[in-house]
Amino acid sequence: MGKFVTFEGGEGSGKSTLIENLKEYFEKHNIDYISTREPGGLKLCEDIRSILKYSTQKIGDRAELLLFSASRAQLVDEVILPNLNAGKVVLCDRFFDSTRVYQGYANGIDDKEVMDVTNFATNGLVPDITFYLDIDPEVAFERKGGRDVGDRIEERDLKYHKMVREGYLRLAKNEARIVKLDATKTPAEVLNQVIEILRKENIIE
């Protein structure tokens, strides 16, 4: 069985940069890996991603949770599990912690209900390790140059994004697999920290 590594954080936290840098490191060191993202990673899931991010139709809170979960179920079956079974390191940009925080904590759906749906979608799959990039959303949006226009979730107000951060901080406190990182550090510093932890946890040599 390979190892399942996930990345979490608010908008503009530097997840994508970290994953790109980590991929480069893995390539250089011949580490057998795949990289995917949520929602997305497959044509069907990218279609669901477009709906979730850019649909102009009203999407209710429960429907939103189920759409994220539908995308996740497909990605677990078609991409994540087969690659873990092939012994690879699977890197995933977001996983169910995003749902617990965005649809659960910040949108007010009870965590138990979120986890019931999540466990159905994932068949109980849990990441081996999760890196959470922590940053104040105000600083992150400034760094990012503002919000993406028309993005349903990104366009939510600052209060929502502050709740997202609070939700992540609570999760990071309660779950031993979640490693909190200071996302205001330079990309090189964050990368080195992640590599060091992956080595210590025997996920890479």
Phi first, then psi: give them for residue 136, nearest 5 degrees: -65, 125
Least distance in angstroms from the C-beta of 186 to ligand TMP: 21
Q: How many CB atoms lie within 10 A of CB 139?
A: 13
Q: Rounded to an integer, what distance in angstroms lies between the CA atom of residue 33 and that of residue 84?
A: 9
* Choice from 6, 21, 74, 99 touching ligand TMP (CB under 6 A): 99
To the nearest whole angstrom, how small is the minimum distance from the Cβ of residue 48 to ligand TMP? 10
Pick from 4, 7, 33, 68: which binds ligand TMP (CB under 6 A)? 68
Q: Is 41 in the site for ligand TMP (CB under 6 A)?
A: no
Residue nearest ligand TMP, Cβ-based: 102
Answer yes or no whether residue 132 interacts with ligand TMP by CB under 6 A: no
Contact with ligand TMP (CB under 6 A): which of 88, 94, 161, 165?
94
Instruction: In angstroms, give the least distance from the CB of 85 to ligand TMP.
Output: 23
Residue 135 near ligand TMP by CB under 6 A: no
**Can you tell me the distance from the alpha carbon of 92 to that of 168, in angstroms, rounded to the nearest whole number?**
17
Q: How far is the CB of 29 from ligand TMP (least distance, A)?
A: 26
C-alpha distances out from residue 60 to 37, 77, 109, 153, 170, Å: 23, 26, 12, 13, 25
Query: For residues 179 and 132, is the Cβ–Cβ distance under 8 A?
Result: yes
User: Which residue in the set 2, 14, 39, 137 belongs to the binding site for ligand TMP (CB under 6 A)?
Assistant: 39
**Short-list 172, 171, 141, 168, CA closest to 157:** 141
